[in-house]
Amino acid sequence: MLHTVTAACYLLAALAAAAGLALRVRAAQRAGVFLLAGGALIHAAAFWQLHTLVPTPSLTELPLASSLMAWLAVVSFLLLHARVRGLALAALVAPAAFLGAFAGALWLGVRTGSGEELHPILAHVHIVLASAGFALLGVAGAAGALYLVHHRAIKAKRAAAQSALPSLEALDRANGAALALGFTLLSLGVLSGVLWVLESQGQLWPDGVTAKHANATLLAWLLYAGVAVLRFGKRESARRAALQSACGFALLLVAVVGLRVLP
């Protein structure tokens, strides 16, 4: 039930944020952020309730993992929002959060009363860390995508004197902060995943159905490692960093979600 309410909250937030961005109404954008914050609180309560019912919930299941990622993405966005004026980011984060929470709500509805599933603790550590990394890299990708849109508008002299989008510098900062934290968490997630496989299969790299996921995740991690080196080491231009963040997240999305969903 709480997951369903959360999904409804995120949906309303997405509508308000999108309307605010399209119509340049800051009040609607702010309402979107408040709804996201409210949704995140209900989402946390939903996970707490789930934890009291099932001490080790099946986070290895994609719908529930998606819901966790959605919650972490919203929390990351809210933390970033406190530092960077990026109201417009809500228009990208809220719909993604809705999809994650909605998938979780559907899955929980189907699984009600089906019993507990116990998983090794390393699996949960891997999933929580990787989900948090995924969520933050999602925020970085969203900030990157908005940066590219805004950059294009300013460069092509199509910018309005008062834009609903945050400044390029704010988007770049949001992108940088989310990338730094997201990449760290993703790295820890990959490491804990390797340890989980080592514990469960006695080898460093998985076989069978999870091999594709592991390979794609490693590829995404390598890509992000490159992005991080270019961004923080070589101080590459903000536009290229934004492009890499957006493309990197698209690949990560395929690695984590696409390979499980697609045949």
Query: What is the contact surface with other proteins in residues (CB under 8 A)?
Result: 84-85, 150, 154-155, 157-163, 165-170, 173, 235-239
Q: How far is the CB of 168 from other proteins (least distance, A)?
A: 5
Residue 188 near residue 231, CB atoms below 8 Å = no
Tell me the torsion sign for CA atoms 72, 76, 81, 86.
negative
Q: How far is the CB of 142 from other proteins (least distance, A)?
A: 17
Q: How far is the CB of 233 from other proteins (least distance, A)?
A: 12
State which residue, 152 or 212, has the beta carbon closest to other proteins.
Answer: 152
State which residue, 128 or 142, has the beta carbon closest to other proteins.
Answer: 142
The C-alpha atoms of residue 108 and residue 1 are separated, in whole angstroms, by 9
State which residue, 55 or 157, has the beta carbon closest to other proteins.
Answer: 157
State which residue, 167 or 215, has the beta carbon closest to other proteins.
Answer: 167
> Counting Cβ atoms within 10 Å, is residue 133 exposed (0-12), middle (13-18) or buried (19+)?
buried
Q: Which residues contact 122 (CB under 8 A, 6 or more apart)?
A: 192, 195, 196, 199
State which residue, 51 or 83, has the beta carbon closest to other proteins.
Answer: 83
Give the closest residue to 148 by CA, choosing from 6, 71, 156, 84: 156
Q: How far is the CB of 22 from other proteins (least distance, A)?
A: 15
State which residue, 158 or 209, has the beta carbon closest to other proteins.
Answer: 158
Cα separation of the two ends of the chain: 31
State which residue, 85 or 119, has the beta carbon closest to other proteins.
Answer: 85
Place of tokens 């309307």: 19
The C-alpha atoms of residue 85 and residue 200 are separated, in whole angstroms, by 45
Length in residues, the chain: 263
> Counting Cβ atoms within 10 Å, is residue 185 exposed (0-12), middle (13-18) or buried (19+)?
buried
Q: How far is the CB of 81 from other proteins (least distance, A)?
A: 13
Q: How far is the CB of 206 from other proteins (least distance, A)?
A: 40
Place of tokens 């959360």: 6
Q: How far is the CB of 235 from other proteins (least distance, A)?
A: 5
